[in-house]
Amino acid sequence: MKYCIKHQTDGQIHIILPYRRLTDTEADVLYYGLLETQDVISAHVFQRTAAAVIRHKKGAAKKILQRLNDLDLHSQEAIDALPGVSARATNEEFKDKAATKILIRLAKRTLLPFPLRAVWTICNGAPYIREGLKDLFQRNFSAEIVHASAILASLLTRDFNTASSIIFLTDMGEMLEEWTYKKSVDDLAQSLQLNVTQVWKQGEDGSLIKCSIQEINDGDCIHVGMGSMIPLDGVVVSGEAMVNQAALTGESVLAAKRPESTVFAGTVLEEGELVISVQAVSGKTRYDRIVQLIEESESMVSVTQSRAEKVVSRLIPYTFGTSILTGLLTGNLTKAASVLMVDFSCAIEVAMPIAVLSTMREAGRNQITVKGGKYLEMVSEADTIVFDKTGTLTNATPVVEEVLALDGRDENEMLALAACLEEHFPHSLANAVVKAAKDRSLSHEELHTAPNYIVAHGIISTLNGEKVVIGSSHFVLEDEGAYISEEDREKVLAMPTQYSRLYMAIGNRMAAVIGISDPIRPESTQIIQSLRDAGIKHVVMMTGDSDRTARAIAEQAGITEYYSEVLPEDKARYVQAERDKGRKVIMIGDGINDSPALSAADVGIAIKEGADIAREIADITLSGKELEKLVVLRYLSKELIDRMNRTAWSGIVFNGAILLGGIAGLVSPGTAALLHNMSTIGLCLNNMQNILPEEDEVIL
C-alpha cells in the first residue's frame, strides 16, 4: 500500500494515503488490518481525508511500517475477513447524524420566523408527550413521563424556545447514548467472533482432508467430531449428535441433530459426530446472533447494576411529585419544569451497561473473552480457584520426549498412528503428539475407521480390522485389558518418572508408550502468589494424572491442596461442594474432561488453546500463552465494580444538585436539560475509558 508519513514519534505515526476519500470498505480494511497488528495500541482512520493515526508500543515503528507496506486495501481475502458490522462505520454514521441535527437546529433558529418555529416545536414535542401519556396511563413511572411533562409545561407557558431546547437536548442525549452503547456492543461482539482457521473437508470418496476454512465453498461437506466447534452454518448430511447451542440460544438442554437438521456456526458438538453440508461459508451470519444475544442476555447485567436500577426507579415518582409540589407552592411553572428535567435513572440505565461492555471489550483486547457482566462481578467476589493441571498450570505446549515402541513395533509408525488418532480431538497432549509427528516429517493418512473419544479415558478406533486404543494406563491396561509382556513392562517402568505417559494398544496388545514432558509454566508460581495477594484465599489443583506427577507440579506452583487421578465428575462434585460451603468458586481448565466442573463453578474459565467444548461451556476464555491474564482479569473485575458504584453515586449527586437548583430557580428547564444530558454523556464517556494503565499491563 502506498502512503506518506506526515508525522512520526516513538509511539505514534500519522500517515496520508494517495486518495481523495476512502470508501467504507477501504477504511475498514485499513482500520481492522492495523488493529490486528501486534504492538498496535489504537488506530484512527479518517475516511474523508484518507489519513490515519496509529498509536503503538515503543520500538515497534519498523514493524508497523512494514505492515502498512504489506497491506492491500483491495485484497479480496482482507475484505472477506471484515466483521459483519463495522464499529468504525458505526462511529461515522453517528457522527453524520449528530452533525446533521446540529445544522438543522442552527438553520431553524436563524432562517425560520417565530410562528413557524413554534409550529415546528409543537410537532416535534407531540411524540414525546404521547409516549409520556401512554406510560402514565399504564402506571409505568418512566423517564418518558418526566420529559413529556417538562415539554408540555414549556408549551403551555408559551416558552417555545425552552421547549425546543429540551426536545433537542433530549434527542441528542438519546442519540449519543445509543451511539456509545452500540459501539460497545459492536466491539464486544467482534471479540466473540469465531477464530476457526482449519476444518476437516470430506472428499467424494469419503476421505477426510484438513484444509483452510477459506477453501470451503457452499455445498462442501465437512466432518465435525465430538468436542469440536461447528465452524460454519449448514445442514446435516449424515451422523447423529447432541449439540450445545447455549452460546446462541441460551438453552442449557442439548439439541439432537440428525440428517436434514440445521446446525449453526459457534455451537459445539458434545456427543457423536456429523457430516455437514455448508450453507454459509462466511460465517458472518453469526455476528448478528452474537449482537442479539449480548443485547438480550441477562448475563450482561451485573447484580450491582440491577440493584442500582431498582433504587433509582423508585426516585422517578418522587421527582414528579417534587415538581408538582414546587409548582403549587411557588406558582412558577418554569421552576416545576426545571425539576422535571432531572432523571436519576439515565446514569444507571445507560452509563452502567456501558461500563460493563467497555470492560468486557478491554478484557477482549487483553486476550480475555468474557461472556457476561455478571461473570466479571463474580470474579471480583471469588475467594476460591480450582486449577486443572495439564495445559493450565503446566505448559500449554507439551513436548514428546520419548516414543517407546513395544511388541516389536516400529517407533515412527507408532508415532504416526498416534498422531492420526489424536489430531481429531485437540488437547494439549494430543497437540504434542501431532507436532512430534510433523517434526519427524511423518505422514499419517486416514487408515483407521472413525475414532471414538471416551471422556477422561482415551480414543478407540479400528486399523486393518484390529482394535486400536490410546489413552491413560488405567484405560488401556485395566479397562481395555491390553496385554503387556514382562519385558515390555520393565521398559515402561524404566521411563523417566517426570514424563506424562500416553499408552497405545493394537489388537489388545501394548504397542507403544509415548513419554511427554509437561513442564510447569514458568509464571505459575508468581501467578498463584499474585492471586493470593489479590484476595483469593483458597487455591486448589486437580488432575487425572498420577499422584507422583501431581505432587511435583503442586510443590513447584506453591499449591498446598491438590487431588490426583480424579475423573471429570470428581472435579464437578468438588466444585459444587465448595459452593455449598458458601464459597465463590472459579474453575479453570482446558480439556473436554474439565467441562462438568466448568459448568458447576460460579465462573468457568477455559484456556483458548484447549478443547472447543471447554471454551464454549466456560464463562470466560483466556489466551493459553499468558496465565497472568488471570491477575489482569481479577484487577479489571474489581475496578469495574468500583467504577459502577462511582457512576451510581455521581449520577445521584449531580442530578440531585440540578433538582435543588431548579427548585431554587437558579436553573432554567433548558439549562437543566443540558446539564442532565451532559452529565449522563460525561459518565458514559468516562466509562468507555480503559481501566488498565496505558501500556495495558498490570504489575504482578
Could you read off the pLDDT of 415-451 as tens digits, one per residue? 999 988 888 776 667 888 988 998 998 876 666 566 7
| pLDDT averaged over every residue in the chain | 80
- Please state the pTM of the whole predicted model: 0.60
pLDDT of residue 111: 87
Quick check: 697 pLDDT over 50? no
Question: What are the respective helix, strand and coil percentages of the chain, to the nearest 5?
Answer: 50, 20, 30
Please, is 433 exposed, middle or buried when counting C-beta atoms within 10 Å of its C-beta (0-12, 13-18, 19+)? buried
Grid look-up 505422514 returns 443
Q: Which among 581, 689, 564 is positioned nearest to 636, based on CA atoms?
A: 689
What's the per-residue H, E or C state across 32-46? HHHHCCCCEEEEEEE
Is a pLDDT exceeding 60 seen at residue 406? yes
The domain ranges of the chain are: 4-82, 92-189+298-355+637-687, 198-282, 368-394+520-625, 399-517
More confident residue, 586 or 305: 586
Same CATH fold assignment for domains 4-82 and 399-517: no
In the sheet that 538-542 helps form, which strands lie side by side, from edge to edge? Answer: 368-370, 620-622, 603-607, 585-589, 384-388, 538-542, 561-563
- Residue 1 CA to residue 19 CA, distance in Å, equals 12
Residue 440 CB neighbours (<10 A): 14
Band (pLDDT 50/70/90 cuts) for residue 335 is: confident
Domain 4-82 has CATH 1.10.10.60: no
pLDDT in tens, 612-646: 566 667 788 886 556 788 888 999 999 988 988 88
CATH class of the domain defined by 368-394+520-625: alpha beta
Q: What is the maximal distance between C-alpha atoms in the chain? A: 105
Q: Does 198-282 carry CATH code 2.70.150.10?
A: yes
Residue among 388, 594, 602, 619 flagged as catalytic = 388
Running DSSP on this structure, what letter comes out for residue 470? Answer: E
| Stretch 537-561: mean pLDDT | 85
pLDDT for residue 328: 78
Q: What are the pLDDT digits (tens) for 214-248?
A: 678 888 899 988 777 788 888 999 998 888 776 55
Residue that the C-alpha cell 466447534 belongs to? 229
Instruction: List pLDDT tens digits, range 381-404.
Output: 999 999 988 777 876 567 899 999
Of 112-121, 632-641, 683-692, least confident by mean pLDDT is: 683-692
Query: Do residues 614 and 598 make contact, with C-beta atoms less than 8 angstroms apart?
Result: yes
The whole-angstrom separation of Cα 621 and Cα 364 is 9
39 counts as catalytic:
no
Greatest mean pLDDT among 197-206, 217-226, 325-334 lies in 217-226
- Give, for 184, the enclosing helix (H) or strand (E): helix 160-191
Structurally, at CATH architecture level, domain 399-517 sits in 3-Layer(aba) Sandwich (3.40)
Pairing of β 4-9 and β 51-56: unpaired
What average pLDDT does this structure show over 490-509? 88
pLDDT score of 614: 63
Query: In this predicted structure, what is the pLDDT of residue 698?
Result: 44
